[in-house]
Amino acid sequence: MKFKLGELFSGPGGIGYAAVTTNPIFANNIEYSIEHAWASDYDKDTCDTYATNICPESHNTVICKDIRKLDFEKLREISDINGLAFGFPCNDFSLVGEKKGINGTFGPLYSYGVKALRKLQPEWFLAENVGGLRNSNEGNAFTKILRELEDSGYTITPHLYKFEEYGVPQARHRIIIIGIRNDIDVTFKVPSPAPYKNINTTARKAIEEPPISSAANNNERTRHATHVIERLKLIKAGQNVFNANLPKELQLNVQGAKISQIYKRLHPDKPSYTVTGSGGGGTHVYHWKENRALTNRERARLQTFPDNFLFKGSKESVRKQIGMAVPPAGVKVIFEALLKSFAGREYISIEKNINLKF
């Protein structure tokens, strides 16, 4: 059984790459696997990155268009699907920023995922968003989204995954919702992190083992101003600009909330903090020893993209793509559990940590 996957808000291909590289599951002489059918995103560089890495022989299956102008019938003409993934934009649900929630520009876009489910009725779906979604609009946004996903005809399993517990070298926490169509006798259970507890998820291992080739793509360094270098010299591994012992001329005059990731150095023996895709000075993730920001290739390693995954576009565009992506290694764990569920294969599971309250 090859599940044909369609994607909305596909990003550069974190979910797509996970899908096509998840090992097939075999049961009763049947192979269960996932293959790319089509994908859609609004950003040209992002679409180019996806097509280059996920479907290099069929760039026409990546539709670069604002989802509000997307014709779902045209997607159906490309290919029918029996799986749908959508990591709907998280900007308004993030814990960083204005937190407008479902009333923001991006918040309502989840409804296009619901629309696709109702129109295309795939056998299953995977929806992804930031942990802050639970608290947006006093929790009402999350409840509304879950209800609409269920009302589309699916039994849903929402869970807040801490990806550093699943072999990802980064403290990245994301809500993943798996839905199985109600007429299908398959039950999905949250995969346990237990099989991954002995994986070395330190920033040092991710970035240095093996060394990044001098010929690697997306590996150019940032040219820092002198005062930035002097500031970094005084910030120890794991510290940020606010808890380091800095002279007054190197301190930041910030009013209000102090974001702990500003000029924060990685700790080499711990997972990275969350890699972000936007922000000004001090938000680029900083090496624990060298007085510099990480390169995009180093950030991509923390996101578990392989070195041969080529990001298209300018340096800043690539940074945005990497920061907005879902770590493929984490999603592969979930896809493997999904395939085992359909194949009737047992796997170690845990209780979901998000309970439905409608």
Distance separating alpha carbons of residues 201 and 167, to the nearest angstrom = 6
Assess whether 47 carries a catalytic annotation. no
**Pair 122, 84: CB distance under 8 Å:** yes
What the block records as the tokens of 199 is: 């994986």
- Count Cα neighbours of 143 within 13 Å in the Cβ-side half-sphere: 7
| DSSP bridge pairs for 155 | 180
Residue 229 CA, chain-centre distance (Å), reads 30
Q: Which of 153, 6, 154, 127 is nearest to 77 (CA)?
A: 6
Distance separating alpha carbons of residues 209 and 227, to the nearest angstrom = 31
> Do β-strands 30-41 and 25-27 pair in parallel, antiparallel, or remain unpaired?
antiparallel
Sorted by sequence, the CB contacts under 8 Å of residue 97 that are 6+ apart come out as: 91
Q: Where are the alpha helices (DSSP H) in the chain?
A: 14-21, 44-54, 72-78, 110-120, 140-151, 203-208, 226-233, 296-302, 315-324, 328-343
CA angle 333, 338, 341 (to 5 degrees): 125
Task: Tell me which DSSP letter residue 179 carries.
Answer: E
Active-site position among 47, 55, 64, 90: 90
Q: Which residue's entry shows tokens 């923001």?
A: 104
Catalytically annotated residues: 90
